[in-house]
Chains A and B, each alone.
Chain A
Amino acid sequence: MSLQAVLIVVAALFCVGLYGALSQQVVVMVMMGLELMLNAVLLAVAAVLWFLAPQIDGAVLLLVVLAAMTVEMAMGFAVATLLHRSRQSDMTDMAADLAG
Chain B
Amino acid sequence: MGVTGALARAGVRAASVLLVEVPGSTDTRIAVERQVRCRGWRLAMSSADADVLVVCGRPSPELAKAVQAVWVQLPGPRARLLVDDAREAAAALEQAAAALLDAPRQRADAGSRGQAGAQAEPSSAPAPAESDGDQDNSDDMDDMGDTDDPGDTDDSSDTDDSSDMDMDMPMPGGVPLAGGGQDDRDGLEMDELTVPLGPVLPHWPAGLVVRCVLHGDVVVHAQVSTLGPAADVAPEVAEIAMDGWQARRIAAGECDSAARFLAVAGWDHPSQRLRSVRDGILDGAPSQDCAREVAQVTRQVRRSWLLRWSVRGLGLLGRAPRPPGGVPDDVPALLRGDVRDRLLARLDHARDLLLDGGAGEPADPRLERQRLDRLPEVVTGLDLAAARLVVASLDPNVSVVRRHSVAGP
Q: Do chains A and B touch in the complex (CB under 8 A)?
A: yes
| Residues in chain A within 8 A of chain B (CB atoms) | 25, 81, 84-85, 88-89, 91, 93-94
**Considering the complex of A and B, which 5 residue pairs feature the smallest CB-CB distances, nearest first?**
A88-B189, A93-B156, A85-B187, A85-B188, A91-B156
Residues of B within 8 A of A91 (CB): 152-153, 156-157
Inter-chain contacts of A88 with B (CB < 8 A): 152, 189
Q: Chain A residues near B159 (CB, 8 Å)? A: 93
Chain B: interface secondary structure?
loop
The answer to whether A25 touches B157, judged by C-beta atoms less than 8 angstroms apart, is: yes
Digit string of B146-162 for contact with A (CB within 8 Å is 1, else 0)?
A: 00000011001101000
Binding site for A on B (CB under 8 A): 152-153, 156-157, 159, 186-189
- Contact in complex: B156, A84 (CB < 8 Å): no
* Distance of A62 Cα from B159 Cα, bound (Å): 38
Task: Give chain A's interface secondary structure class.
Answer: helix
Give A81 to B188 CA distance when docked, in angstroms. 8
Cβ contact within 8 Å between B188 and A84: yes
Known: A25-B157, A91-B157. 11 other contacts (CB 8 A): A25-B156, A81-B188, A85-B186, A85-B187, A85-B188, A88-B152, A89-B156, A91-B152, A91-B156, A93-B157, A93-B159
CA distance A89 to B156 in the complex (A): 10
Summed over the interface, the residue pairs from A and B with CB atoms below 8 Å come to a total of 20
Cβ of B152 and Cβ of A89 under 8 Å apart? yes
When chains A and B are docked, how far (Å) is the Cα of A91 from the Cα of B189? 14
Query: Which residues from chain B contact A84 at a C-beta distance below 8 Å?
Result: 188-189
Complex formed: what's the CA distance from A89 to B155 in Å?
A: 12
Give CA–CA (A85, B152) in the complex, Å.
14
| A25: chain B residues within 8 A (beta carbon) | 156-157
Q: Closest chain B residue to A89 by CB distance?
A: B152
- Write the chain B residue with the least CB distance to A92: B156
CA distance A93 to B153 in the complex (A): 10
Residues of B within 8 A of A89 (CB): 152, 156
- Chain A residues near B187 (CB, 8 Å)? 85
Contacts of A94 in B (CB 8 A): 156
Closest CB in chain A relative to B185 CB, distance in Å: 12
Complex CA distance for A81 and B186, rounded to whole angstroms:
11
> B323 CB to closest chain A CB, in angstroms?
25
> CA A89 – CA B157 in complex, angstroms?
12
Name the A residues within 8 Å of B186 (CB-CB): 85
CA–CA, A94 to B148, complex, Å? 15
Instruction: Specify which chain A residues have a CB less than 8 angstroms from the CB of B188 in the assembled complex.
Output: 81, 84-85
The smallest beta-carbon distance between A12 and chain B, in angstroms, is 23
A-B contact pairs, 14 of them (CB 8 A): A25-B156, A25-B157, A81-B188, A84-B189, A85-B188, A88-B152, A89-B156, A91-B152, A91-B156, A91-B157, A93-B156, A93-B157, A93-B159, A94-B156
- A67 and B351 alpha carbons, distance in the complex (Å): 60
Give chain A nearest CB distance to B78 CB in angstroms.
42
- Distance, CA A73 to CA B354, complexed state (A): 61
Q: How far does the alpha carbon of A89 sit from the alpha carbon of B188 in the complex, in Å?
A: 10
A84, B187: Cα distance in complex, Å: 9
Bound Cα distance A88, B181 (Å): 11
Cα-based distance from A74 to B187 in the complex (angstroms): 20
A91 to B153, CA, bound (A): 8
The residues of A that contact B157 with a CB separation of less than 8 Å are 25, 91, 93
Output the nearest chain B residue to A81 by Cβ-Cβ distance: B188
Q: Please report the C-alpha to C-alpha distance between residue A89 and residue B189 in the assembled complex, in whole angstroms.
A: 9
Q: Please report the C-alpha to C-alpha distance between residue A84 and residue B149 in the assembled complex, in whole angstroms.
A: 12
Separation of A65 and B258 alpha carbons in the complex (Å): 55
The CA-CA distance from A77 to B386 in the complex, in Å, is: 28
